[in-house]
Amino acid sequence: MKPPPVEYHGPDTVDEAVRLLAEHGGHAKVLAGGQSLVPMLNMRLTAPARLIDVNRLDELAYVRTDLEGVRVGALARHADVERATHAFEAVPLLRQAVRTVAHPTIRNRGTTVGSLVHADPCAEMPAVLLLLDGEVLLRSERAGERVVKAADFFVGPMESACEEDELAVEAYFPKPKGRTGTDWRELSRRNGDYAMCGVGTAVRVDESGAVTSAKAVYIGVGPVPQVVDVTAAGADWDAAAEHAADQLDPEDDIHATAEYRRHLARVLTARSLKAAYEAVAP
């Protein structure tokens, strides 16, 4: 239960970090908050030859909000995202979801961008990025800067589109268009654990209150977060939830059966859509 020997680099600038990744990419892991990586090291589930610690890159410790949305730098902790009132006002789903990421002590250290790159199928922030059609900005010496859309970023369980020599520099969470309400809810066995099923929703209405768009995103029920469009059901939340649950293909595991997860998805979806709708309905 102690990490294996590893060589350590603590770059002071993004340029230096990217250069180190170019040199050692295949044998190095980026260490940001470490709330997923260090447990894996402690349990010796992974043994990279080198760690590139980005905790000195203060230039990436930002949560910025503009008219378009929220930009989260690679060193912004979950707690920074949670506390940023400007980010909550622009994209309420960020705070709604990040509050359910583990416990406050973990959120004080874990980073939102790190969670995206880690791509745990039970993690909240990848699902938020996907539901909002967000993007991740990657940088390497080889490819320079490139932007990857959320839909292309989550490749498989614990696998993102971030290549071995790339540093994920920033995540962009666009502000939902028009009059859109959002909601996040999930169920876990114990407070702060990974959810057996989590649901995020975004419901857009017109001036009369009619639903013009309704989408739900799921975690814990598949290898990557999954979005289901339920606009066709209008404001019939139970029908929308039924439709969405039919699209999911959860698996049995030690925490819950597939059938129970599907049941949770159905119940949570109906409640979540209703709450998202009521946040903006006239």
Residues that bind other proteins (CB under 8 A): 1-8, 10, 31, 34-35, 38-39, 41-43, 51, 53, 55, 79, 102-106, 108-109, 191-192
Residue placing its CB nearer to other proteins in the complex, 51 or 97: 51
d(CA 168, CA 147): 10
Q: How far is the CB of 241 from other proteins (least distance, A)?
A: 28
CB of 174 closer than 8 Å to CB of 157: no
Q: How far is the CB of 57 from other proteins (least distance, A)?
A: 12
Residue placing its CB nearer to other proteins in the complex, 28 or 273: 28
Bridge partners for 182 per DSSP: 202
User: Residue written as tokens 């490749």?
Assistant: 155
Q: At what angle do helices 237-247 and 258-280 cross, to 10 degrees?
A: 140
Phi and psi at residue 77, in whole multiples of 5°? Answer: -75, 160
Q: How far is the CB of 108 from other proteins (least distance, A)?
A: 5
d(CA 134, CA 10): 29
Q: How far is the CB of 159 from other proteins (least distance, A)?
A: 21
- Report the amino acid identity of residue 85: T
Q: How far is the CB of 65 from other proteins (least distance, A)?
A: 23
Residue placing its CB nearer to other proteins in the complex, 99 or 149: 99
CB of 203 closer than 8 Å to CB of 274: no
Residue placing its CB nearer to other proteins in the complex, 101 or 256: 101
Residue placing its CB nearer to other proteins in the complex, 98 or 217: 98
CB of 240 closer than 8 Å to CB of 230: yes
